[in-house]
Amino acid sequence: MDKHKSDILVILPAFNEAPMIGTVLSRLRFIGYTNVCVVDDGSSDMTGREALKYGAILLTHPINRGAGAAIQTGISYAKNNGFQHAVLMDSDGQHLPVDIERLCYSMQQTKADIVIGNRFSSRDNDIPDHRIVYNYIANVFTNIFCRKKYLDTQSGFRLLNRKAIEKMQIKNRGFGFCSEMIIYSERAGLVIKETPIQVLYTKYSMNKGQNLKEGIRTARSILWRVIFE
Amino acid sequence: MEIRYFQIIIPLLVAIAIGKQIRDTLKGKAGLYESIIISVFWTGVAGVAIFPDFFSDLIAKVFGIKNSTNAIIFFAIGLLFYFQLQIYKMLRKQDQLLTEISRKEALKNVEKK
Chain mean position to CA B18? 13
Name every chain B residue with its beta carbon within 8 A of the beta carbon of A177: none
Angle at A132 between CA A131 and CA A136, to 5 degrees: 115
ipTM of the complex: 0.83
Residues of B in contact with A63 (CB under 8 A): 98, 102
- Integer Cα distance of A57 and A55 in angstroms: 7
Q: What is the mean pLDDT of residues B56-70?
A: 69
Inter-residue contact A43 to A20 (CB < 8 Å): no
Q: Considering only CB atoms, which chain B residues are within 8 Å of A65?
A: 98-99, 102-103
Mark yes or no for CB contact B102/A147 under 8 Å.
no
For A127-187, give the DSSP string: --HHHHHHHHHHHHHHHHT-SS--S-TT---EEEEHHHHHH------STTHHHHHHHHHHH
Q: Summarize pLDDT for A146-203 with one digit per residue, the tens.
A: 999 999 999 999 999 999 999 999 988 988 899 999 999 999 999 999 999 999 887 7
The per-residue pLDDT for range A98-148, each reduced to its tens digit, is: 999 999 999 999 999 999 999 988 777 778 888 888 888 889 989 998 999
Q: Which helix (H) or strand (E) element contains residue A227?
A: helix A212-228
**All structural domains of chain A:** 2-228 (3.90.550.10)
pTM over 0.90: no
- Contact with chain B for residue A96, Cβ under 8 A: no
Q: How far is CA A167 from the centre of its chain?
A: 16
